[in-house]
Amino acid sequence: MLLRRLLGLSTAASGRLRRGFSTAALRPPWAMVRPFVVVNMPAPGPRASLRLAAPPCATLLVVPDHLVRPPRDLDPPGDTVYAVFGGYITATSGDGLLLLCFFDVPAHAPVLPGVIMPGGIRGRMLTGVIKEPEVMRFVCNPLSGQLVRLPDIDGTTKTQQYPDIGILTQSERPDQPPDKYAVAVLSNSKDRSFVMRRFLSQTGKWDKMVALPSPLPLARPMEMDLSHEPVAFAGRLWWVDVTCGAFSVDPFSDRPESSIHIHV
């Protein structure tokens, strides 16, 4: 993950992500970051932070719990509680912006009559976990620690069916820090065309682009069932089809054209 180019990240690109701290210039130009985010609950802070480690050791991204998790009632009136909460880095831009995904897993936990836990909380018995978690996504500037919550895709938090989301930055001037970013995910349509859902930092919202033509034969749908992180490269986002090759698209374009690079 590159770090240097984020130092001059513009306000437009950050979508309220502030510039890196002045001390950030002392940090290394790149770092290997563990994919799983450490959610810090005991000591909440104002921003995310990197626990930098010199390669070949991996750096940790630490995020305060209150910045990414909705407040939860410790003793809700019903039988539904939230049993598991966690997060991971789902993609990174070529400039070092991180796309984070957090999941909150609800579970069934009926109250045990007459059982009181410390703090006056009623005792419960966990009887089952609800399979579909609530998903929240953030864009993070790892140098400044600023986080931006993305709106929910299609207006719902039940979006675990979109794991292969990528992030791409763009600069108006060559070899300069980015001015804007796009977050995008592809899915197959029933007619074998593609559907792209994308978030643009300029608009601050998701839009849905349907009937994107596929460069593959009609009898050959793209297989993206295995989770592969989308890669930002050469001004495009790239997805891997493990049986065929790499598929790329420019999410900034209002008339995106897809291309396939065949594996031989």
> What value does the mean pLDDT take over residues 1-26?
47
How do residues 38-90 score in pLDDT, each as one tens digit? 997 666 678 999 998 887 889 999 999 989 988 888 899 999 999 889 999 99
90: its two tokens: 């789902």
At residue 8, what are phi and psi to the nearest 5 degrees? -105, 20
CA distance 32 to 2: 9
The pLDDT, as a whole number, for residue 40 is 79
What is this structure's pTM?
Answer: 0.84
Contact between 197 and 184 (Cβ < 8 Å): yes
> What value does the mean pLDDT take over residues 176-184?
89
Does residue 95 carry a pLDDT above 90? no
Of 90-99, 160-169, 191-200, least confident by mean pLDDT is 191-200
The pLDDT, as a whole number, for residue 245 is 74
Report the 10 Å Cβ neighbour count for 177.
18
The residue that leads in pLDDT, 1 or 76, is 76
Assign 3-class secondary structure to the chain: CECHHHHHCCHHHHCCCCCCCHHHHHCCCECCECCEEEEECCCCCCCCEEECCCCCCCEEEEEEHHHHCCCCCCCCCCCEEEEEEEEEEEEECCCCCEEEEEEEEEEECCEEEEEECCCCCEEECCCEECCCCEEEEEEEECCCCEEEECCCHHHCCCCCCCCCCEEEEECCCCCCCCCEEEEEEEEECCCCCEEEEEEECCCCEEEEEEEECCCCCCCCCCCCCCCCCCEEECCEEEEEECCCEEEEECCCCCCCCCEEEECC
Report the 10 Å Cβ neighbour count for 259.
12
Does residue 18 carry a pLDDT above 50? no
The residue that leads in pLDDT, 228 or 120, is 120
Angle at 174 between CA 169 and CA 180, to 5 degrees: 25
Amino acid 162 reads: Y
The pLDDT, as a whole number, for residue 239 is 86
